[in-house]
Amino acid sequence: MAALKKSKPVRVHTSKGFNARAFYEVLASVVEARSVAWRQVARETGITPSTLTRMGQGRQPDASSLAALSAWAGLNPADFVGERPEVARSDSLVVISRALKSDPDLRPEAAKALEDIMRIAYDRFSRQAA
């Protein structure tokens, strides 16, 4: 009778203060907002699907994968290091802001106005929820 193999526990990597889990969650929001499949993200970025799967399991991407995904999604990896005050509010606002600014159907002033509206609404509703 063969012995059962023990599986290794998955460690969430936060090397040098980089929050890989938060980065992946915001990346997933961008993927959802753009209505693309993860396989398409892999093709467009040159990242292997298995790397994306491992990131979904809490593993940290290598530097080149992080750079490619950041460029594709319009994210700044520095926003996911430590407790930076400008990202302390919500990653959702970052995703919304980037999506509005990258929308080709919106003029820059329209994107800015919508971003302001979203920030005001977020502040109002997040205070009510607390």
pLDDT digits (tens, 9 = 90+) for 79-119: 888 754 444 445 677 778 777 877 788 888 998 899 889 88
| Co-location of 74 and 119 in the same domain | no
Q: Would residue 9 count as lying in a domain?
A: no
State how many domains the chain has. Answer: 2
Average pLDDT across the chain, whole number? 79
Cα distance between residue 77 and residue 18, in whole Å: 8
Q: Nearest-CA neighbor of 93 among 112, 59, 119, 113?
A: 119
In order, the DSSP letters of 26-77 are HHHHHHHHTT--HHHHHHHHT--HHHHHHHHTTPPPPHHHHHHHHHHHT--G
pLDDT band at 50 (very low <50, low <70, confident <90, very high): very high
User: Which of 1-5, 6-10, 48-52, 96-100 holds the top average pLDDT?
Assistant: 48-52
- Note the pLDDT of residue 129: 54
Q: What is the mean predicted confidence (pLDDT) over 41-58?
A: 94
Cβ(59)–Cβ(18) below 8 Å = no
| Co-location of 112 and 129 in the same domain | yes
Q: Which domain-ending residue is among 52, 70, 85?
A: 85
Q: Domain limits at 123?
A: 89-130
| Co-location of 56 and 110 in the same domain | no
- Note the pLDDT of residue 55: 93
